[in-house]
Structure 1
Amino acid sequence: MKTKALLAAAMLLLLQTVVTAQQRIKVLTFNIYHGEAHYERGTSNLQKIAAVINEHQPDFVAMQEVDSMTNRTARFNNGQRIDIVKELAALTKMNGYFAKAIDYDNGGYGEGVLTKKPATVTRYALPIPKGGEGRAMLQVQQKLANGRTIVFAGNHLCHEFDVNRIDQIKTVDSITQKSAYPVILAGDWNFVPGSAEYAIITKNFKDAAVVKGKPEATFPYTAPKIRLDMVFLSNNAKWKVIDVAVLKNDASDHMPVLVTLELE
């Protein structure tokens, strides 16, 4: 009996080791249109966005077009300027982080990230050699339940000039290539597969939707024609893409993309 009990305990320990070695991760990228319902102007979309997050329970959320305490947010929040990331963190019970890319309308505008567990955060300003709207990358670093550390970064590249986007994607690639940890890049990239920018990032990263064989258009919601919202996985780790889903949600003109992964 004692031998059988020891054998059972050993098998359980082995099973737990295998399970923890493969860490499942859910990530969501969502251009949230500064917190206003795109198809119902003058109305907040935060409840809809929070409902998506609460339904799917991602570990990391990258949000683009994020306002913080702007006069614009007051126009659809009963006259009160709001911190969108703070509001969504409260609605989803997640940790919220904001990286300002530009001063805007008496507040800030940039990137937001939500995480299930607290994370170490770094903001990087991205180059704009042609001028135009400033951009930033918001990077978080976190230790997973199995003890491994990963990096997750949210991005929203320039929509105005090719030169800016090329420099920005080169900078994103350069920064993340210095990481000793697996990296997930998510965002509204403002470029499409087949572009010069896409060729640059896919030298060192895999397109999760292509790996899964499920690339779908994400923009615009009413008649999706192009895929701007993508998740990339670093080549310095072994990833298994379990699922990629473009979620049919009309809170914004972009549809959110949910990617379920295993990190081996």
Structure 2
Amino acid sequence: MSVAATALGITLLVDVLRVWLPSIITIFGQAAATPAELMGAFALMWFVLALGAPPLVRLVGARPVLLVAAVVLGGCRAALGATPGGQAQLYVASVGLLAGLVWLAATATAATRPVAGLVLGLATATVLHTALDTLDLTWRADVLSYALTGAVVAVFLALVWRAEPGTEPRTRPGRAAPWLLAGPALLLSGMLAGSPALATTAVSYLYGPGPGTAGTTPLGDTWPAAVTAAAVALFVGAGLARPPRGPVRWLVPVPLLAGTVMFATAVPALLIPAILLTAAGLGACLARSAPASAAPDPAGSAAAAGPAERPGELRSGFAAVGGMVVFAVGAVLYYSAYDLGYPNQWVPVLLALFVAAVAVRTPGPVSVPVRAVRRPALVTAVAAVVTVLAAIAVPNNAVPVREPEPGPVRVVAYNIRMGFGLDGRFDLDGLVDVVAGQRPDVVALSEVDRAWLLNGGHDTLALIADRLGMRYVFAPAADPVWGDAILTRLPVTEARTVRLTALGAPTGAQALATVLDTGIGELVVVSTHLQPPPDDGPVVQAGEVVRFATGYAAGRPLVLAGDFNTQPGDPAFRAFTDAGLVDALAAARPLPTAPADAPDEQIDHIFVSAGLTATDAVAPPSTASDHLAVAVTVDRVRP
């Protein structure tokens, strides 16, 4: 199997995963109503089914399995853009994933240079995701995206058709090692080392208007491009380089372990070094896992004996699927923590330890592992340049700060469910249409995701802000890339975030306060998303938000908005009204906001302080999220 075919297949598999992973939680699962254990079991089932691929290869041979699996993988990838969401999307993505796993297992029995294909495939996925501004072709659904997807699939199928099994012996020591690392490498790359959304988020923390907050990067800022390009260069350079042998090999995993530990601390200031160190260490470990050289195959062509007849090749097929099972288990363990409530920061570190153990125990190559790439240094430089150009080519639509004009302020609060509509599709246009239709001055967003691989690895906040022509302030809740945000074109003079007590609620919560210069004077706007503990209301968090918001406002006009997970009259709701805050939506009640397709609960609210009036309250209908947005016009009380 050629390096190019392997690399392009890895890229397509990553594309399918970027649709399949969010489909598990938005289509199979429903707004935290589906138990995390059930979603995890459904997800793992597809990986377990793929364990039947190596015996199938042994029975009929690698080439027929490769061709059929490649056609199904490519066909499902092409079809995903045209699916209407819902069950069709879930099962097309699931079949595509299974086909991708079978293709990977068959490739492991036929390819002779696995490290080259894995490294270049993961790097290509990162470069493409960067060039697309983290918004995959699947979600664009236009003629150009269909054409580009079709072209990529056609090239992949042509490469698979033309590829022949190599002539090197495929029973060399350690041959299964790189395939065992394919799954963990894919997860660590998608979560950390190869995530352009994480790079953008990490840089945005440099521009936060207050401690612990992130802000819009200035126009023309190239730091996100530089971080992503450096990560790609380090990953490709280390992956294609000749790894050290002897006792020095024990130092190869050090950058990987250091990077994942930094990531596990959830300290925003450590995200950039975490990305770079993980990229370098992951590439080096993959290079170190390359099979040791061996004497020529005495039987001549390895293909002559037939891939199904070699026990070593069957072992490689199981290693490839086993590595992807590690991917699935790692992803489930990491992201299920936000539903079940246990520490998950150790998951990437354990994955790094697994990669390190496999890498240092492999005999390793005597020569450069990527003989198909004659000039690894040149390939590394080209990868870095292409990544920079791809990132710079994405327009930064952040607008300059607008001087406030006299008049009232329109406020929108919206729980955007990480950008996914009720149909399970990533629906930027739908979200933007809802918000833009209210002509807002200030937007408070909840459930903002900026880099979770589980949700496709998008920087949802930057994508929405660009389309609205607004600047943002972001504060983390669960971790540095998931939380709440405030968007506005008005001057933001300061900001502050405070973490709220969890009390058994799995997902973290915070309150983000900003001070805006508006047409009605200085205005404090607080965005929050209360997380109720099991079988109870968010009373404690409500009290904390009230004390923080009123204390921070210190008598200044205050607007408090978000998803409060409590209804009018509930104890948590009364915590706000008892503190003297006014329900800004009261005149329009009943105004149910969830679920979006048949709302019967009002859990999204806007409160204002005394001295402010609230008019024109609405909850515009839409299924771009599982909540409806709420909007109100705020003004000072006129004498």
Using the size of structure 1 for normalisation, the TM-score is: 0.81
Q: How many residues align?
A: 229
Contact 1:150 1:182 (C-alpha < 8 Å) held by counterparts? yes
Q: Does 1:67 align with 2:440?
A: no
Render the CA deviation track for 1:122-151: whole Å, top value 9, x for unaligned. Answer: 1111111335221011111111135x2111
| Counterpart-to-counterpart distance in 1, 2:473 and 2:600 | 31
Q: Structure 1 residue aligned with 2:507, among 115, 121, 133? A: 133
- Which secondary structure does the structure 2 equivalent of 1:90 belong to? helix
Alignment of 1:63-212 (within 5 A): 63-74=445-456, 81-103=457-479, 108-119=481-492, 120-130=494-504, 132-146=506-520, 148-161=521-534, 165-178=538-551, 179=553, 180-203=555-578, 204-210=580-586, 212=587
Q: Does 1:55 align with 2:55?
A: no
Equivalent residue, structure 2, for 1:230: 605
Render the CA deviation track for 1:51-82: whole Å, top value 9, x for unaligned. Answer: 222222111111111111110232xxxxxx22
| Counterpart-to-counterpart distance in 2, 1:145 and 1:126 | 31
| Counterpart-to-counterpart distance in 1, 2:577 and 2:535 | 17
- Which secondary structure does the structure 2 equivalent of 1:56 belong to? coil
| Counterpart-to-counterpart distance in 1, 2:472 and 2:588 | 32
Q: Structure 2 residue aligned with 1:32, among 398, 416, 425? A: 416
- Which secondary structure does the structure 2 equivalent of 1:218 belong to? coil
Alignment of 1:17-28 (within 5 A): 20=406, 23-28=407-412
Render the CA deviation track for 1:226-250: whole Å, top value 9, x for unaligned. Answer: 1001100112xx2222210010011
Contact 2:522 2:556 (C-alpha < 8 Å) held by counterparts? yes
Unmatched runs of 5 consecutive residues or more in structure 1 = 1-18, 75-80
**Once the 2 structures are TM-superposed, how far is the Cα of residue 165 of structure 1 from its aligned partner?**
1.5
Residue range with higher mean Cα deviation, 64-73 or 248-257: 64-73
**Once the 2 structures are TM-superposed, how far is the Cα of residue 121 of structure 1 from its aligned partner?**
2.0
Contact 1:128 1:164 (C-alpha < 8 Å) held by counterparts? no
| Counterpart-to-counterpart distance in 2, 1:254 and 1:91 | 20
Quick check: which has more Rg, 1 or 2?
2
Equivalent residue, structure 2, for 1:221: 596
Contact 2:537 2:566 (C-alpha < 8 Å) held by counterparts? no
**Once the 2 structures are TM-superposed, how far is the Cα of residue 163 of structure 1 from its aligned partner?**
6.2
- Which secondary structure does the structure 2 equivalent of 1:198 belong to? helix
**Once the 2 structures are TM-superposed, how far is the Cα of residue 259 of structure 1 from its aligned partner?**
0.6
| Counterpart-to-counterpart distance in 1, 2:516 and 2:464 | 20
Considering fraction of residues, name the structure with more strand. 1
- Which secondary structure does the structure 1 equivalent of 2:408 belong to? strand
Contact 1:243 1:261 (C-alpha < 8 Å) held by counterparts? no
**Aligned pair in 2 of structure 1 residues 48, 131: CA closer, same or farther (>3 Å)?**
closer
Using the size of structure 2 for normalisation, the TM-score is: 0.35
Unmatched runs of 5 consecutive residues or more in structure 2 = 1-404
**Aligned pair in 2 of structure 1 residues 44, 166: CA closer, same or farther (>3 Å)?**
same
Question: Alignment identity in percent?
Answer: 26
| Counterpart-to-counterpart distance in 2, 1:63 and 1:256 | 9
Contact 1:217 1:228 (C-alpha < 8 Å) held by counterparts? yes
Contact 2:537 2:571 (C-alpha < 8 Å) held by counterparts? no
Instruction: Using CA pairs under 8 Å that are at least 6 residues apart, name the structure with larger relative contact order, 1 or 2.
Output: 1
- Which secondary structure does the structure 1 equivalent of 2:446 belong to? strand
- Which secondary structure does the structure 2 equivalent of 1:152 belong to? strand
Render the CA deviation track for 1:173-197: whole Å, top value 9, x for unaligned. Answer: 1112222311101111001111111
Cα RMSD (Å) of the superposition?
A: 1.9
Contact 2:513 2:549 (C-alpha < 8 Å) held by counterparts? no
| Counterpart-to-counterpart distance in 1, 2:449 and 2:504 | 24
Considering fraction of residues, name the structure with more helix. 2
The 4+ residue runs of structure 1 with deviation greater than 4 A are none
**Aligned pair in 2 of structure 1 residues 192, 230: CA closer, same or farther (>3 Å)?**
same
Q: Structure 1 residue aligned with 2:612, among 231, 239, 245? A: 239
Contact 1:28 1:62 (C-alpha < 8 Å) held by counterparts? yes
| Counterpart-to-counterpart distance in 2, 1:216 and 1:54 | 20
Q: Does 1:252 align with 2:628?
A: no
| Counterpart-to-counterpart distance in 1, 2:505 and 2:561 | 24
Contact 1:25 1:263 (C-alpha < 8 Å) held by counterparts? no
